[in-house]
Amino acid sequence: DIVMTQSPDSLDVSLGERATINCKSSQSVLYSSNNKNYLAWYQQKPGQPPKLLIYWASTRESGVPDRFSGSGSGTDFTLTISSLQAEDVAVYYCQQYYSSHTFGQGTRLEIK
Amino acid sequence: QVQLVQSGAEVKKPGASVKVSCKTSGYTFTGYYMHWVRQAPGQGLEWMGWINPDTGGTNFAQKFQVRVTMTRDTSISTVNMELSSLISDDTAIYYCARAHSIGGYSYGYYDYWGQGTLVTVSS
């Protein structure tokens, strides 16, 4: 199985500042035939199911604010929130769907 | 609009089975694979498997292969997940999650989720 490792486990960021969450896969999730990275990001707020933010590593889901962006390729990926808002407090998960499906352990984002 | 509505919370004794349903609406039921993902209290997300509502075909994580069954009822646009031989570590919220589909091909990221069903296993 592909193991997904996120860093850090938790993150405190001031309102309006940039938040960066990293995700590393134990093997590449880049499919060479279509040059797509099979990597998604989700946001989960307390008491709610996860919400899709990003797929194909960098494609923003419809309705997701443009302060959320995804980058990276192969085995190293980043979710960036350019200007943290209060409503962004949540746990964030990366997920690979290249080979079966596995999630990172989650990163808890709070306001400093 | 797309909706996935799951059945209510369950309390089961060790060794029992539980069946969780996920009733869908707002889209073509047979056009999208449905996955099941669980989350133990205070823990992360764990993929369990998927069902193709069109054919009934399934694929499970190795960890659950001998204990999980996934079925569908196309007449009521509902998928079901049954987990047997429950142990306390199966206490979790169970989610159904629709996999995005493009041109009839299913990709494993989830664009809609059910609200979750808490299953508690306790003697």
pLDDT band at B103 (very low <50, low <70, confident <90, very high): confident
CB contact under 8 A, B46 and A51: no
pLDDT for the residue B102:
83
Task: Report the C-alpha gap between A39 and A73 in whole angstroms.
Answer: 9
Q: Which of A3, A37, A97, A102 to mutate to test the interface with B (most CBs of B within 10 A)?
A: A97
pLDDT for the residue A63:
97
**Mean pLDDT score of chain A, rounded to an integer?**
97
Q: What are phi and psi of B72, to 5 degrees?
A: -140, 155
Section B1-18 average pLDDT = 98
Q: How far is CA A13 from the centre of its chain?
A: 16
Residues pairing with A97 in the sheet: none
pLDDT band at A34 (very low <50, low <70, confident <90, very high): very high
Residue B15 Cα distances to A1, B71, B119, angstroms = 28, 21, 13
**With 90 as the cut, is the pLDDT of residue A21 above it?**
yes
**With 90 as the cut, is the pLDDT of residue B104 above it?**
no
